[in-house]
Amino acid sequence: MNALFYLASAVAVIATLLVISRSHPVHALLYFVVSLFAVAVMFFTLGAPFVAALEVVVYAGAIIVLFVFVVMLLNLGPATAGERARILSPRTWTGPAILAAILAVELAVIFARGGGAVGAVAVPPKQVGLALFGPYLLGVEMASMLLLAGLVGAYHLGRRGKGGES
């Protein structure tokens, strides 16, 4: 079953290579989503199903949406007028679609074999939660304060500056 891990890592490396070489931000973000999915499959094969789910939910679901919103807000002027036709052309989405199809096949193989973690010994979410709210409780509190600071900082910076502040 190691083949699943190596195939996913190959997909991750190829997708990341394309992330840093695309010129259009949205194309790069598409490949970045595929790269995150590939890393999630790698987590699953390493026996970390909880973290694999969080990778998809938080990284691919929340952080990428932030990036897409910022690209949308910036809306780089008349240069992007003809973008919509180009973004919907098959040339743009074939690459990410092929890489994502490889990952979908891997997922189907995993579920066909019973759905459990393959390869390594699985560490279930219960154990992770016990460690998180046991010995690492102080770290959780610090992470919550960090997130609060990030929220306040992003609100302060993102405000449209008018008058003295800006």
Give the DSSP letter string of 142-165. Answer: HHHHHHHHHHHHHHHHHS---TT-
Return contacts of 125-129, CB within 8 angstroms, 24+ apart: 125/49, 125/50, 128/50, 128/51
- Binding mask 5-44 vs another protein (x if CB under 8 A, - otherwise)? xx--x--xx--xx-xx----x--xx--x--xx--x--xx-
d(CA 58, CA 39): 13
Phi, psi of 122 (to 5 degrees): -75, 140
Cβ of residue 28: shortest distance to another protein, in angstroms? 6
Residues 121 to 160 in contact with another protein, rule: CB under 8 A: 121, 123, 127-128, 130-132, 136, 139, 143, 146-147, 149-151, 153-154, 157-158, 160
Among 62, 72, 79, 138, binds another protein (CB under 8 A): 62
Closer residue to another protein in complex, CB, 13/98? 13
Closer residue to another protein in complex, CB, 90/162? 162
The CA-CA-CA angle for residues 51, 144, 36, to 5°, reads 30
Phi, psi of 117 (to 5 degrees): -65, 140
Query: Residues in the site for another protein, rule: CB under 8 A?
Result: 1-2, 5-6, 9, 12-13, 16-17, 19-20, 25, 28-29, 32, 35-36, 39, 42-43, 45-48, 50-51, 54-55, 58-59, 62-63, 66-67, 70-71, 73-74, 76, 118-121, 123, 127-128, 130-132, 136, 139, 143, 146-147, 149-151, 153-154, 157-158, 160-161
